Amino acid sequence: MSLANRMALASPQIRALCIEANEFPRLSAEFGVRGVPHTVVNRGGAFVGALPERVFVAAVLEGAGIPVEESAAPSGPSTELSG
């Protein structure tokens, strides 16, 4: 979650919202949270796991509808793109 916060600090376009999943079970269910950290961009695309900065930034851009280079797109066993 620190990475999302750092991005919000760096870009005036980003709002980072860290949610205590157990305290908001309905919201967690709505976004299909089964593991943490579970990141959701613009209440659409989601991924699970802690990603390296470059991949996290690419995932956020992708979730916001900005095309990203193939090499930066999220991949690997710890991620799960959906939405």
Partner 1 sequence: MGLIPEHVRAQLKARFDLRLSGPVHLTLYTRPGSSRLILPAGVGCATCEDARQMAELLRDAAPEKVTLDVVDTSRDPDRARADRVDDVPTIAVGANTEAGRIRFQGLPTGTEFPALIDAVERVSRTEHDLSAASLVELGKLTEPAEVMVFATPT
As measured in angstroms, the least distance from the Cβ of 77 to partner 1 is 19
User: In this complex, which beta carbon is closest to partner 1, that of residue 11 or of residue 76?
Assistant: 11
Token digits of residue 19: 């949610």
The three-class DSSP label of residue 12 is coil
User: In this complex, which beta carbon is closest to partner 1, that of residue 39 or of residue 79?
Assistant: 39
Contact residues: partner 1, CB under 8 A: 1-2, 4-24, 27-28, 31, 33, 36-43, 53-54, 57-58, 60-61, 63-64, 66, 68, 72
Burial code (b: 16+ CB inside 10 Å, e: under 16) for 22-33 equals eeeeeebeebeb
Q: Kindly state the DSSP code that residue 2 receives in the 8-state scheme.
A: H
